[in-house]
Chain A
Amino acid sequence: MAKKEQNLDNLIESLSPNERKIIPNLNEKTLDNLNEKLAEMDTVAVLRALEFLSNKKIIVLNQKSKKTIELGINGILYIKKGLPERNLINLIVEKSSVTIGEAKKQSKLNDNEFKVALGVLKNKVLINLVNGKIILSGTKEEICKKFLEEQFLESLPKSFEELQPEEKFALKNLKSRKNIIDIQDKKIVEFEVTELGNQLMKTDLSKAGNLIETLTSSLIKSGQWKGKKFRRYDITSQLPKIYGGKKHFVNQATDYAKRIWLEMGFKEMTGNLVQSGFWNFDALFTAQDHPVREMQDTFFIKNKSTNFQDKKIIEEVKKAHEGKIKGSKGWQQDWRAEDSEKVLLRTHTTCLSVQTLREIAENKEFPAKYFALGKCFRNETVDWSHGFEFNQTEGIVVDENANFRQLLGYLKEFFKKMGYEKIRIRPGYFPYTEPSLEIDIFHPIKKKWLEFGGAGMFRPEVTIPIFGRHIPVLAWGPGFDRIIMEFFKITDLREMYKNNLNQLRGMKVWRK
């Protein structure tokens, strides 16, 4: 018994001033009634206090929404001035027969109102149009009687549920007209008082009035809080959400992937998104008639052309294509400068790798390891697994002793750190690598291997034009977006760059 009283005391101590104001008025049963009674309080504050009372099991809150029909701006006006059709019929009764033009002029209705009024009266078979004249066809009784619409307007506001069939008909007619009626979804808040609530209503709550509501700096300074109790909070109640600033989720993952490469001793390479056909394709031994070089697959830029500063490398690459370097048959067709001068959006970050090789050849600094993580572009229509912009994670290792097993080593390590223990490495094909490989990841739901990207060792036709001899280069460039889809539970690549702020605010943080 003592415990129960203790509980009641705690409960009383937890009541906020607003709640204390409301409790004696709980007989009101609805929010609307309460608002009327407690006019000095803000509606939002009353509702919030009711929610707290409900959390404390003092009342049972029942919230439902109710459609109500009210007068719109024009509705209010027409109540005063009469509906356009009423004004028009009055005019016609007065004149008994009148031309449309004249009626329009004398009725003082605007174009729209007049058209509607005419239509309504015709539908009600109260008038006929003959040779441009309006002629009455309804009986006097019919005309004098209030229209359904008029009766309906005068009866507003009304709730949707209580409408009679004929009222629904009137509503349908009026709804299509501008601003006559206004249908509102109103929240109805009702509540019942629980046994606990009844008990509280009989209790003197004034002793709770001595509780400290808010700790203020002046209370602290004056020391007046000493010996007093603080009002208890309901520390379990639900709160409005807050949001913080944060990095775009793709960039969070990008930062992590970059760290993996940095920790393995890779330097970051960056470069232009706009490239020449030469660096994007030719320097990577992609035949000039390779389908990827056609308009439909690559974004070429209008009215731009490349002015090459480094002419020597172009000559060397041309030789590789035409089969003029030792040990290679090349593509056995003439190489044209025009295709290499085209300006385009890079289709892969591999163009950065080959440009970096060019720099390494100049400064002779290797072994060297480089990575890049950046946007690439393909002229594609967009679907769940393709976007026209996507990220690629690129890497190269330049070393006289680099070999295929090491390539597998770097890739396995990277994917392991990205959270993929089980990968399949199988033969692949790229014009610029040999041997080439593809990385597959087993999709547990789709029950099939999904392609995650390619890698290989640069062909001599790529390295010889740059270094003058073949130096082994391990190279890879898996797509990055697919790698992180799984973690963020994204099933459609289009979700990645939608910039839906609700999605960005709600997206969990990258936790690696």
Chain B
Amino acid sequence: MTILTLNKQQLESKIGKMDESMQNKISMFGTPIEEVTDTEVLVEIFPNRPDLLSFQGFTRALITYFKKPGLQKYKTEKPEKDYRVIIDKSVKKVRPFTACAIVKNLKLNDEKIKEIIDIQEKLHASYGRNRKKLAIGIYPLEQIKLPITFMALPPEEIKFQPLDFPRKINGRQILSQHPAGKEYGDLLKNVEVFPIFQDANKEILSMPPIINSDKTGKINEKTKEIFIECSGFHLGYLKKTLNMIVTAFADMGGKIYQMEVQDSKKYFSPDLEPEKMIFSIENINKTLGLNLSEKEVRKLLEKMGITTEKNNALIPAYRTDILHEIDLTEEVAIAYGYDNFKPEIPEISTIGQEDKTAILKRKISEVLIGLGLLEISTFHLSTKEKQFKKLNVKEFHPQMIEVVDSKTENNILRTSLLSHNISVLSENLDSEYPQKIFELGKVFYSDDNEETQIGEKENLGISICYEKANFTGIKQILDYLMRMFEKEYEIQEIDNPSFIKGRCGEIMIDGKSVGVLGEISPTVLKNNKIKMPVASLEIGISWLV
């Protein structure tokens, strides 16, 4: 979840007082308020709107929504002499694209610089997928001699002083010594050459996506003109990101200049021309269940910063979220106000139907509750301890199904309910006895015939635990259940490490083994610190149908 923190006073000066009604309106715009303090306003920004991740982008959208509808136009100046970026062939394999711009006329101060770094970091983390997809560099133009080359070199040949580092080191050393190198070094794993931006004096500006140069890649209060680049793997994403940043700079008073990018084809960057998308009033009304006139739809789109020309919507060049006409439909819905829709339940005749297994489970639990049993509900994830070791099961590796990097101790899927029955008894030593419990739920098993190589089946586990709990007690429960479901069954003696030898049986229906029952072995009870006898059963319920 990405949270944007805004200066409350500055925000209020742009859009009005942050009272409860304003807070609600902002939430209803699709940017829910997380918290309002004396000095700050925290809003959540959804991942489809990275263009809102700056004070400028956010207030621009709200001002358009509340006060000044329509498309916000941004002017770009033609490139001046040497405003060029040459993409060298050497970099195409490791980091094929970049989108660049120059912004002049900036008046920066400490706070603005912090803001710029914040925009950059937020975009890196969210839209840039932690720099995996793209990285942004901002440089003081005064320190750079144009044109700029985007190229790649073997890491040992890349030598410069990275940002906030005392001396020159090479590309490889940056990855092992510089904090940013350590954090993002994985992004340059398995490549032979590292990408760099270099100016006309062969001065290295940066090594994306890791770090800028300390000399040429650090803006300060005196910086008036900057060079911005976004580099990465999908040109479309890079252009959008650049547009979000330059428009934010333009809102700070900057003047945007294009650069000529020399790739296999030449083109000018940035391109702030709005995108066009065809839309139909009829489709929008049908999806929303409204009856808006053409004029109304156009007006609503304007509130969202989208203007229209005939049946074309003109979408700001920094918006990333309009993939389809349906996205324009949502824009109309937000502008119309979610709270203004009249809910309706249509008359469609469909017949409700409960799932068969769900019915069976409900019936089984009715029978067991009638016997005074208490239903428990445990997790599908489990531990080796619980599942196997404490149950005295020694050979468990073949049946174990593990999950990757669990954040809790639970790192395998449960393969039996019996184990969880026992662990619940073990956690309730101070609860009054008799304890009689059951659980209905899924257990997992490996099966290469299944699409996911894992099978799932519904089981029933029952345990009784008190001074006189014994085989007879658990078999009586089984017997009652079987009679209620009109099933013939047999018990065949087997050995099972969790049960007392000679007091454990396999439950057989139509000659097939469907479950197990017996008295739990004192070894297992001791492993679980249980001081009362326990008798248990576990059975697959599909056999009861």
Contacts and interface: CB of A to CB of B under 8 A. Distances in A.
B492 interface: no
A296 to B, nearest CB: 7
A429 B357 contact: no
B403 interface: yes
Contact of A258 (B358, B365, B413): B358
A499 B342 contact: no
B234 A333 contact: yes
Contact of A406 (B333, B345, B408): B345
Given A375-B380, A426-B28, A295 B404 contact: yes
Contacts of B343: 405-406, 408-409, 411-412
A368 B348 CA distance: 9
A268 B324 contact: no
Interface string B427-457: 1100110011100001010100001111010
A268 B356 CA distance: 9
Interface in B284-333: 286-290, 323-327, 329-330, 333
B381 A388 contact: yes
A459 B404 contact: no
B55 interface: no
B27 A449 contact: yes
Nearest to B404: A300
B329 A434 contact: yes
Interface stretch (A30-38, A67-75, A500-508): A500-508
A369 interface: yes
Contacts of A408: 341, 343-344
Contact of A403 (B287, B350, B413): B287
Contact of B373 (A245, A333, A461): A245
A332 B348 contact: no
Nearest to A451: B32
Contact of A273 (B27, B132, B456): B456
A151 interface: no
B377 interface: yes
Interface in A394-435: 397, 399, 401-406, 408-413, 424-429, 434-435
B30 A426 contact: yes
Interface residues of A, number: 99
A364 B327 CA distance: 27
> Dominant SS at the B interface?
loop
Nearest to B35: A448
A248 interface: yes
Contacts of B378: 497, 499
Interface string A381-394: 11000001100000
Interface string B338-374: 1101111110111111110110001001001111111
A305 interface: yes
Contact of B405 (A290, A295, A409): A295
Nearest to A503: B431
A407 to B, nearest CB: 8
B168 interface: no
Contacts of A497: 377-379
B352 A267 contact: yes
Contacts of A138: none
Given A247-B365, A497-B377, A429 B46 contact: yes
B153 interface: no
Given A268-B358, A404-B289, A409-B343, A501 B435 contact: yes
Nearest to A250: B377
A251 B341 CA distance: 34
Given A302-B402, A306-B451, A429 B380 contact: no
Interface in A454-512: 457, 459-461, 472, 497, 499-502, 504-505
Contacts of A409: 343-346
B523 interface: no
A24 interface: no
Interface string A267-280: 11110111110000
Contact of A301 (B289, B325, B346, B401): B401
Given A269-B355, A405-B289, A276 B452 contact: yes
B59 interface: no
A289 B405 contact: no
Nearest to B403: A299
A256 interface: no
B161 to A, nearest CB: 33
Contacts of A303: 402
B200 interface: no
Contact of A265 (B49, B352, B424): B352
Contact of B350 (A295, A306, A369): A369
A410 B32 contact: no
Most chain B CB inside 10 Å of its own CB: which residue of A369, A403, A411: A403
B452 A332 contact: no
A244 interface: yes
B47 interface: yes
A328 interface: yes
B291 to A, nearest CB: 11
Interface string A126-147: 0000000000000000000000
Nearest to A329: B323
**Most chain A beta-carbon neighbours within 10 Å: one of B288, B451, B456:** B451
A427 B29 contact: yes
B472 interface: no
A263 B350 CA distance: 10
Given A427-B330, A428-B30, 19 more contacts: A244-B369, A245-B436, A258-B358, A261-B352, A272-B452, A276-B452, A308-B451, A332-B234, A332-B236, A345-B381, A424-B339, A429-B48, A435-B288, A449-B32, A460-B324, A461-B324, A499-B424, A499-B428, A504-B376
3 pairs of A and B residues whose beta carbons are closest in the complex: A403-B289, A427-B30, A429-B46
Interface of B: 27-30, 32, 46-49, 129, 132-133, 233-234, 236-237, 286-290, 323-327, 329-330, 333-334, 338-339, 341-346, 348-355, 357-358, 362, 365, 368-381, 401-408, 410, 413, 424, 427-428, 431-432, 435-437, 442, 444, 446, 451-454, 456
14 contacts: A245-B436, A265-B349, A301-B401, A301-B452, A399-B348, A401-B346, A405-B289, A409-B344, A412-B343, A424-B27, A426-B27, A457-B287, A499-B378, A501-B431
